[in-house]
Amino acid sequence: MLTLAFKERPTVLSDRPALFESLVRDAYRPAYGLAYRLTGNASEAEDLMQETFVRAFRFFHRYDDGLPFTSWLYRIMTNANIDMVRRRGKLRTTSLDFTGHDGSAGWEVADPDSAPDREMMRNAVDDTVQAGLMAMTPEFRTAVLLADVEGLAYEEVADIMRTSVGTVRSRIHRGRKQLRTFLVRNAPETYSELANEL
């Protein structure tokens, strides 16, 4: 009996990478959409996605199969985004105009507009709305995106953000108000009907 238990366990453990790959494949598009909206550009969204999936794979042994994978993944993503924002102030930057010692171009940069998925995401959210999202505080933006764009329940958002449901409701309310104010101020011809809700 004991040997039977040991024979079954490696099979279950060996299925975990396949399960992870399947779950990631299903969650990739919505996760990229959230990453793009959190960061505001494709390059940072890709960095955030990579960091999220690395962390998710590393801690996949902690994932409970009975819970929604996307909620667990979004929690990792929001934490990774917070870490990236904190690190951004500590990083040194170098100009792309910098030339090498021999006078050659110092940097070769790929065209960010060449990938079709970026074009799809760019068209998925109006530029004014994206600018409004980026103008919001990160906590409000995350709460609004998870609830309104991803369609998660307040309880799920609270779990992902590791806060109370009351705090989530407050952040969503205040975030929506910030977004409405931004849209009415910056694109009144398109969003003037939102002025009545302020």
Tokens, residue 72: 């667990």
Q: What is the CATH number of domain 126-198?
A: 1.10.10.10
On whether the CB atoms of residues 161 and 144 are closer than 8 A, the answer is no
Kindly list the distances between the CA atom of residue 40 and the CA atoms of 73, 121, 135, 155, in Å, as whole numbers in the listed order. 19, 11, 10, 26
Alpha carbon distance 31, 77 (integer Å): 8
Alpha carbon distance 77, 69 (integer Å): 12
Alpha carbon distance 49, 43 (integer Å): 10
pLDDT, residue 100, reads 56
pLDDT, residue 121, reads 47
Closest by CA position to 190, among listed 198, 180, 176: 180
What amino acid occupies position 186? N
pLDDT, residue 143, reads 93
Cβ neighbourhood burial of 17 (10 Å; 0-12, 13-18, 19+): exposed
What amino acid occupies position 48? L
Q: Domain map of the chain by residue range?
A: 1-91+117-124, 126-198
HSE-up of 141 (CA within 13 Å, CB side)? 21
Residue 149: CB atoms within 10 Å: 15
CATH architecture group of domain 1-91+117-124:
Orthogonal Bundle (1.10)
pLDDT tens string, the chain, 198 residues long: the values are 444 444 443 445 568 889 999 999 999 999 999 999 999 889 999 999 999 999 999 999 999 888 899 999 999 999 999 888 888 765 455 565 555 555 555 555 555 555 554 454 445 567 888 888 889 888 999 999 999 888 899 999 999 999 999 999 999 999 999 998 998 898 888 887 776 765
Q: What SS3 class is residue 41?
A: coil
CA pseudo-torsion sign 156, 160, 166, 168: negative
Residue 100: CB atoms within 10 Å: 9
Closest by CA position to 78, among listed 190, 15, 187, 171: 171
pLDDT, residue 84, reads 87
